[in-house]
Amino acid sequence: MQHSIAAGHQSLRNDGNFLQTGLICVEADGLAPFVLLGRTIVLICTAEDRPSFEPGIRLLLLSLGKHNPDLPIHVTFPGATDEFVEWVEERPKVTLVRKPITDSWGVNIKPDVLLSLLDQGHEEIVWIDSDIIVLQDISPLFENLNAETFVFTEEALGGQGYKDEGWRARQWGLQVGRILPCAVNSGVIRVTSAHRGLLNRWRELMASKEYRDVHRADWRNRPMHMNTDQDVLTAILSSSEFANVPIKIMRRGKDIIQYYHHLGYTVSERVSNMLGHSPKLVHSQGPKPWDHPWERVALSDLRRYFRETYLDLSPYTLAANRYKDQLNGDAHWLRSHFKLSRILRSIGFWYPPLVGLPLALWYDIAEPFKQIFRRGRARAAKNTQ
Ligand SMILES: [Mn+2]
């Protein structure tokens, strides 16, 4: 095993990988665990293969640097430009890898990255998606957990198949061992070496021919149990094989804002946040504000106007605005794109629970009516068959 250790500076390997803990810099084929004052500490990791996600990665790193300055972060980003590499070099806690971890890049990257980091000796790893901003110290979320506890986030309310009830496991042909209270969202997950079996199983199902074929075909025809990595994870955690893995669910609205379409940040979540239960993370699911076409929408198309304005009022964008001067890139997307969003941002004092509250109120009230209408239409269609 080759290795070299240097204090206080970064070293860049020929293949473009560098590894650094901030205190000691380790360059090795098989890595020692990150050790701080003789104690193994949590490693944060993310990976991204879409170059257009660079603003998201920057915001994740900036926000972690602000709220959890002691945590080491491992970033796999093959699309990193030289300018990005230079920017990362100023962040002593960040390790950037520009080489893809496996050939099977894409949908099954999460178990691959986590297993590879466990192989390198890390004991506890927290995966965070590149479309998440940390709003405050996240360490309390992972305190007092035993090694067996698997942590994941609650799926967004408007997410596909929010209620699972063992459905995904059955569709995969697995025996149902428990019913999860909600579908899994894999935006934030915590694993330890106790979860190797689970991660291997997750990787195995996503490497199956069936799953790969579905992902090669038109995404609109994907069955829900194979839609993304988190649907597979929901199936596995519900299966009898892994039914006794203890779980901790980070709650939507309380621990993390799952900003996804029109139910991304409900009135009750906003009220509870105003009363002091402030979420520690915000997740920009669905369209990404930094990468959105932001076309002009006529007021006559009210549905679309509201939908676009709701995205423009995202608590993710409001949180991102604090880092505007440190983004080193295009910060144009942070401005208001519609008259209504400009007004609501200023009368809400840029305070996330207040900004967007009128639209959330509208959607919360409209939703039950929409459901009744949908059910009625489905019944009518059945009767005419
Ligand atoms: Mn995400």
| pLDDT per 10-residue tile (average), the chain, 385 residues | 35 34 36 42 91 95 96 94 94 91 70 94 95 96 93 90 93 97 96 97 93 87 91 97 97 96 93 94 95 91 93 97 88 93 95 94 83 78 70
How far is ligand 1, taken at its centre, from the CA of residue 38, in Å? 33
How far is ligand 1, taken at its centre, from the CA of residue 380, in Å? 37
CA pair distance 19, 370, nearest whole angstrom: 52
Q: Domain extents for the chain?
A: 1-136, 256-370
Q: What is the DSSP-derived secondary structure letter of residue 287?
A: S
The token duo for 299 is 């007021």
The token duo for 54 is 């660079």
How far is ligand 1, taken at its centre, from the CA of residue 357, in Å? 23
How far is ligand 1, taken at its centre, from the CA of residue 376, in Å? 34
- pLDDT digits 0-9 by tens, 199-210: 999 999 999 999
pLDDT for the residue 55: 95
How far is ligand 1, taken at its centre, from the CA of residue 249, in Å? 16
pLDDT for the residue 105: 57
pLDDT for the residue 185: 96
- pLDDT digits 0-9 by tens, 163-176: 999 999 999 999 99
Determine how β-strand 94-97 pairs with β-strand 124-128: unpaired
Contacts for 253 with CB less than 8 Å, ≥ 6 apart: 265, 266, 268, 269, 272, 273, 279
CA pair distance 27, 280, nearest whole angstrom: 33
pLDDT for the residue 123: 92
How far is ligand 1, taken at its centre, from the CA of residue 295, in Å? 23
How far is ligand 1, taken at its centre, from the CA of residue 18, in Å? 25
Are 127 and 276 a contacting pair, CB within 8 Å? no
Q: How far does CA 289 lie from the centroid of its chain?
A: 15
Instruction: Give φ, ψ of 253 to 5 degrees.
Output: 85, -35
pLDDT for the residue 107: 64
How far is ligand 1, taken at its centre, from the CA of residue 37, in Å? 33
Closest CA to 120 of 214, 26, 205, 54: 26
**Cα-atom radius of gyration of the chain, to the nearest Å?**
22
How far is ligand 1, taken at its centre, from the CA of residue 372, in Å? 30
CA pair distance 265, 367, nearest whole angstrom: 13
pLDDT for the residue 218: 85
How far is ligand 1, taken at its centre, from the CA of residue 285, in Å? 5
- Residue listed under structure tokens 């979540």: 269
pLDDT for the residue 104: 57
pLDDT for the residue 385: 63
| Reported pTM | 0.86
